[in-house]
Structure 1
Amino acid sequence: MDRLSVINAALMKCGLPPAASLLDVDWGASARFDDVAEQLLRAHAWNFATTHATPGKTEAPAHGYLYAYALPADCVRVIDVRPAEDIRAPQARFSVVGERIYTNAAPCNLRYVRRMTDPADWPVDFADAVAARLAAEIAPLAAQSFGLGASLLQLAQAAFQQAQAADAAERREFLPMRSSYIEVR
């Protein structure tokens, strides 16, 4: 799957003919493509887009937390922060402020959703969700129909939920339960 395929899927959902190349695309589809993809990436902790990093410290925050770290340039959503690389380690409190993450964790082991704008790296159901959302956004201008835009928005929500369900079925994190009773035994 490539960018043109996703845009053409959006155009066809609007009842419009597909474009022969990205240069032929109109109605703002190319301009909105990256924004729509990023919005959907931010909306869920997608397995295919999740990665880890240990960012470097920056200046200390003015108050509230002990450390500040620079967010990776490709971060669109922070999932969690842990002071250890082990996924079973307790999560640390954090706040994202601009391009920084504030936390008391040292080091800061960050799990986040990364920006991915190449549809070749997306599962097909996520690509369909992007196409449906893009279609809903361009329909009022492209098809000159506000009613179609509302219908496509419902279709986009259904496609998003289907992509979420498929993504959730691919994740199985069975972390041991921690309790003082079990640790004492």
Structure 2
Amino acid sequence: MPTSSTAVGNAALGKLGQGAVLSFDDPDDRARWLKSRFADVRDLCLRANRWHFAMARARLSAEATAPAFGYGRQFPLPTDCLRLVEVGGVAVTPGLADYQGGSQPAFALEGGRILTDAAAPLDIRYVRRAEDVAGWDPLFAEAVACRLAFDLAEKLTQSSGKKEAALRDYQLAVREAVRVNAIETAPESTPDGAWVLARL
């Protein structure tokens, strides 16, 4: 299991038939490209799913200034927040709730803030920027390596075939990682919308 960003980067290089680097600071184009893309690829892979190892909780204080209209309070997101999952016990998921319109949603996410009428402090759950590779799920580390290989394939190999192969590897790795992640998730119910409730 990779325990460092360099190990994940070297896994990506190996998938492209490239030799390993000692560090992202090596005086080598491969290391320079890995260093320039690693954080962005990590964050986009983290944001794409609710990974258990990257979940965090926070209790937010309201800002002194309220939103201009619509909601009574606003709360700044944590600086390491990549994806909001739950706000005050309400899951951030698409569902059947009032898809024809109706009352204002319980909260809105705008400009790095949560706008809501809920009282402070506001409890949230979110996917955090997990920078410590040693704490990653091995399947997620594999997905990041595959995505890095896809990103760097053309620069390093000038081969569209290798880039396509890297994309397939990435898709398979993500599918497996998401499947295992989902198996370890407790079932969640979604709220009924007005359309369903009107027919009860």
Give the TM-score taking structure 2 as reference length: 0.78
Percent of counterpart pairs with the same letter?
A: 38
- Between 137-146 and 122-131, report the one with greater CA deviation: 137-146
Instruction: Name the aligned partner's letter for residue 7 of structure 2.
Output: S
Q: Does 1:38 align with 2:43?
A: yes
Please say if residues 71 and 117 of structure 2, whose CA atoms lie closer than 8 Å, have aligned partners that are also in contact.
yes
1:93 aligns with 2:139: no
Q: Structure 2 regions of 5+ residues with no counterpart? A: 91-104, 193-200
Map residues 1-185 of structure 1 onto 2, 5 A cutoff. Answer: 1-24=3-26, 26-27=29-30, 28-58=33-63, 59-82=65-88, 93-107=106-120, 108-173=122-187
- How far is the alpha carbon of 1:95 from its aligned partner? 1.9
For residue 5 of structure 1, what is the amino acid of its counterpart?
A
Q: How far off is 1:98 after superposition?
A: 1.7
User: Is the CA contact (8 Å cut-off) linking 1:83 and 1:105 kept in structure 2?
Assistant: no
Equivalent pair of 2:25/2:35 in contact (CA under 8 Å) = no
Q: 1:96, CA displacement in angstroms? A: 1.6
Which structure 1 residue ranges, 5 or more long, are not aligned? 85-91, 179-185
Q: Report the residue type matching 2:106 in the other structure.
A: R
**Does the aligned pair in 1 maintain the 2:24–2:34 contact within 8 Å?**
no
Shift in alpha-carbon separation, 1:11–1:48, aligned structure 2, 3 A: same
Counterparts in 2 of 1:16 and 1:45: CA distance versus 1, 3 Å: same
Deviating runs (4+, > 6 A) in structure 1?
none
For 1:119 and 1:15, the matched residues in 2 are separated by: 23
Counterpart Cα distance in 2 of 1:143 and 1:150: 12
Cα pair 2:82 2:126 within 8 Å, conserved = yes
- RMSD (CA atoms): 2.1
